[in-house]
Structure 1
Amino acid sequence: MKLNEEGYGKYLIYNSLTNGLGEIKKDLYEALVNEDFSYLTNCEELEHLIQGRFLYLNPVNELEIMEKSFTTTRYQKSTLHLTILPTFNCNFRCSYCYENLTEKTGNHSFTDQVQQDILSYIKSAMEATDLKHITVNWTGGEPLLEFKKVTRLMDQMNTMAAAKHIEIAHYMVSNGYLLTKSRAVILRDLGLKSIQITIDGNKVNHDKRRVLANQQGTFDQIIKNIRDSCDFVHINIRSNVDLNNVASMEDYMDYLGQQDFREKVNIYFSATTDYVAGGCSSSNSCFANQEFSGVILSLYEKALEKGLNISYYPQYVPVVCAAIADNSIVVQPDGWIQKCWNTVGNSNYAIGHISNGIYSNERTEKWLNYSPYKIEKCRSCSVLPLCGGGCAQQAFESIDKQPVCCEYKYNLGEMLKFNYHRLEV
């Protein structure tokens, strides 16, 4: 792809499988486009092109390589992925929440029996397979509502893993309202690698969207908690973006840029998404993916200008969606097992119970049969290594049963130029 006119005839070359990005001159670009092999085999850049896997000396089917890696990764047994909801309860009443689990299920946190069943499930996995790693994602509901239960279970898991010389890593998704310095220290000592906290724009917009049950705003308390905790646990700030709050994002970034914790946290943006019917507070408030591809790039450009820590470069992951991986489950507080975070609380998607394992039936097979390599529009797409077929549950719920294309399909070229100029600076 050509850089702007100030690039003086320079071009970028990119491989979406390896994530290799390089700068080349016009004559090499034209030789590649025109398949001028006599030039290519004698050019001084040949060795670099081969090392970067932009060129192969012998025919290589990259699609076949990816599909084999996809299958191998999907059925691997060396890593167990657990997502655990210690409670359906939440102290927030966010306007766009697709879960609304407190309303759906009533007050429900996991019992001592469910906690014991989780430990038994892990023990069985340790004994039945050559397990080397365990990753645990704590979410909800709001997991910090059950801080004592969560930390006790983390400690028990860590003890079990250490006895078997198995690595274990914990992550958490929280609204951040109940995070304190002392809790951050405890979580750090128990092996929490990072915590994701959501802030949806400036104070005015955030406090319209992410409120307590009594409709009180939450912005100030979350900011205080981030400041108090960021020295002890890594914090990723997520900002959900839609038509209702996009205009406030620059003001919000100005505010973050003035905070003393600016360099200690990461920030990223995500579209408010209609995962299921009625998932967005209003379908009209959600960006279409193609439209959002331009919005998100603009947001990252502004974030970089304001000195915020960002990461906006794609990477190849053989299996993007944990729901379609064999050794990955989501455990509800009532013990029912799901494959996907987005279906929690929906009994129609349950695939088993933690007390007696996963059922081998069509519900389970539905997830394990989903493959982007069976979908023609994915197989022929140059960004398949980055997208991986997207969200399986969105595909299941869509009218045409097709996956929703990711933003890279629409903004890859501009995104790569953005990262190139970051490297220049």
Structure 2
Amino acid sequence: MSIDQAVSIGLPVRLATATDPAAPDTAAWNPPALPDGARLLKGERNWWFLGPGGVARLRDRHVTPEGGLRPEARRRLHETGMLTPGRVNAYALTVLTSTHCNLGCGYCFQNTAQDEAGGSRPPRIGRTRLTSETITDILGFTERQMAAAGLEKLRILLFGGEPLLNPRGCLELLERAAEIAPTTAWMISNATLLTPSLARKLTDRGLTSVQVTFDGDRADHDRIRIGRADGGATFDKIVGNIAQATEATPLQWMLRVNVSQETFHGVDALIDRLAGALDPGRCTLYFARIGDVGVGYSNSLLHTGELPAAFARWQRRALDLGFVVGRPGARQTCVTCGHTDGRYGAVVSADGTLASCWETAGKPDWEVGTVTDGYRPGEETRDRWIACQDLYRYDEDARTLARFRDSVDTALLDYLQETGRL
């Protein structure tokens, strides 16, 4: 369906039906303003509209000389649901099962400083571990929050530290959560501890996907993403564990590639290496520049120069090798940290303290409540309530970052259209 042709790519599109209110005549209709987060990008052959209800391909006649939407185009987008935000249908619960980690990555936002000895043991947030008693409190809190929001489904993120340093806590949380609501789960893990047996147990309890990070190709990764105890290499272990778990379970994988001045030149080789070792059809590949969170780690690679073209090249190569690449979309409010009352989600550390976002979980003086007492009043948490990326520092201004994202997303949409992948 189109404005000339609307295209849904990974985002739900609600079509107008006979039960919808009849659209008024164009001449008499005052089109609503675009929703927050909607984007309009100029592609090589057409324009791309990215809204909360999906993505549409537009022609020049639908866009004003100033780069806005003409009334007829806006009306059609409204009629087809492109301007309508999707309904939250599950409570998003993030739980740190362990705040400890078995790796010593120097850029980690949970570090409190760099390792003064130059080794693999940067100081970290305090060590806590999820217990059965805390799980009881977390699930009681979750039931109350879900009832208040009118939500009946639960989506859990197993987080850390490294969540698999406490496999019993992961399994018990998922098993008991299923007793209060239909539950699905995903996990962010370094995968060094993921065995086929453990992967099967987690999958049986609702785990559907795992996010794993790579720091460039093997040599770069093994210099950066190292064992905390011995500084040992991890690349082959991680790839092997993913491959074995893929054979043993239906798990899907989100492979994050960290980009910095230390990894940039190895990313092309990494994509090919992963394609040869893993099943690309089960893996979503995405690329992310490492940000500065104030722990003494510096990334001199900027979002200008050759970086936009490199991101576009990597995405095209990943697609051509059979990897899934996430489709661009509108800027959307995070269901977990985007509402200061924790309406649709919560982040809980292993000791039961509440944080506004995963970036501050387990950090002293950033608590916004506890699962036993609930959230503190807004006037007490106002300065502690941060959203995704708020703690990251960049050497460029927000306009430069937005131009980078728009350039990369436009190139991806153009390539998807060019290769018939839409």
TM-score normalized with structure 1 length: 0.74
Aligned residues: 360
Q: Distance in 2 between matches of 1:318 and 1:365?
A: 21
Counterpart of 2:377 (choices 345, 356, 360) is 360
Q: Does 1:88 align with 2:85?
A: no
Q: Percent identity?
A: 23
Question: 1:322-381, CA deviations, whole angstroms, 9 ceiling, x for partnerless residues?
Answer: 31133221111122110111112323321001221110133544588x8xxxxxxxxxxx
Aligned partners of 1:93 and 1:211 also within 8 Å:
yes
2:230 counterpart of 1:219: no
SS in 2 for 1:103: coil
- In structure 2, do the counterparts of structure 1 residues 173 and 359 end up closer, same or farther at CA, with 3 Å as the change threshold? same
Alignment pair present for 1:14 and 2:48: yes
Displacement of 1:131: 2.1
Instruction: State the shift of 1:169 in Å.
Output: 1.4
Partner of 2:22: none
**What's the counterpart of residue 386 of structure 1?**
none
Q: Does 1:329 align with 2:364?
A: no
Q: By how many angstroms is 1:291 displaced?
A: 6.0
Distance 1:269 1:105, change over 3 A: closer
Which of residues 169, 181, 187 in structure 2 aligns to 1:172? 187
1:182 aligns with 2:204: no
Q: Residues of 1 paired with 2:358 and 2:403: CA distance?
A: 19
1:199 aligns with 2:199: no
Between the aligned partners of 1:176 and 1:271, the Cα distance in structure 2 is 21
The answer as to whether partners of 1:84 and 1:138 remain within 8 angstroms in 2 is: yes
The match for 2:418 among 412, 417, 421 is: 421
Matched, 1:229 2:249: no
Q: Are 1:94 and 1:210, in contact at CA under 8 Å, matched by a contact in 2?
A: yes
Alpha-carbon distance in structure 2 between the residues aligned to 1:224 and 1:60: 48
Q: How far is the alpha carbon of 1:32 from its aligned partner?
A: 4.6
- The root-mean-square deviation of aligned C-alpha atoms, in Å, is 3.6
Contact 2:337 2:357 in 1 (8 A): yes
**Residue type of the alignment partner of 1:20:** V
Q: Which runs of structure 2 are paired with 1:43-58 in the superposition (5 Å)?
A: 55-56=73-74
Cα distance 1:263–1:334, how it changes in 2: closer, same or farther (>3 A)? same
Partners in 2 of 1:240 and 1:272 — Cα distance? 6
State the SS of the aligned residue for 1:22: strand
Normalising by structure 2, report the TM-score: 0.74
Partner residue, 1:109:
129
CA contact (8 A) 1:329 1:337 kept: yes
Structure in which a larger fraction of residues adopt helix: 1
Aligned to 2:358: 341
Answer yes or no: is the 8 Å Cα contact 1:114–1:355 preserved in 2: no
- Secondary structure of the residue aligned to 1:175 is coil
Following the alignment from structure 1 to structure 2, what is the Cα–Cα distance between the partners of residues 398 and 321?
A: 24
| 2:130 counterpart SS class | coil
Alignment counterpart, residue 406 of structure 2, candidates 392, 406, 409? 409
Q: Which residue of 2 aligns with 1:258?
A: 276
Partner of 2:263: 245
Cα offset for 1:219? 0.8
Distance 1:143 1:54, change over 3 A: farther
1:258–1:400: structure 2 CA closer, same or farther, 3 Å change rule? closer
CA deviations 1:43-65 (Å, max 9, x no partner) are xxxxxx99xx9714599799xx6
Partner of 1:99: 110
Q: Which amino acid in 1 is paired with 2:265? A: A
Runs of 5+ consecutive residues of structure 1 not aligned to the other structure: 4-10, 36-48, 162-166, 371-389
Q: State the SS of the aligned residue for 2:92.
A: strand
- Separation in structure 2 between the aligned mates of residue 348 and residue 406 of structure 1, nearest angstrom: 35
Q: 2:330 aligns with which of 316, 320, 328?
A: 316
Aligned to 2:23: none
Please state whether the residue corresponding to 1:277 is helix, strand or coil.
coil
The change in CA–CA distance for 1:318 and 1:251 in structure 2 (over 3 A counts) is closer
- 1-side partners of 2:324 and 2:133: how far apart? 41
Is residue 316–residue 412 contact of structure 2 (8 Å, CA) maintained in 1?
A: no
Partner of 1:383: none
Q: Which amino acid aligns with 2:138?
A: I
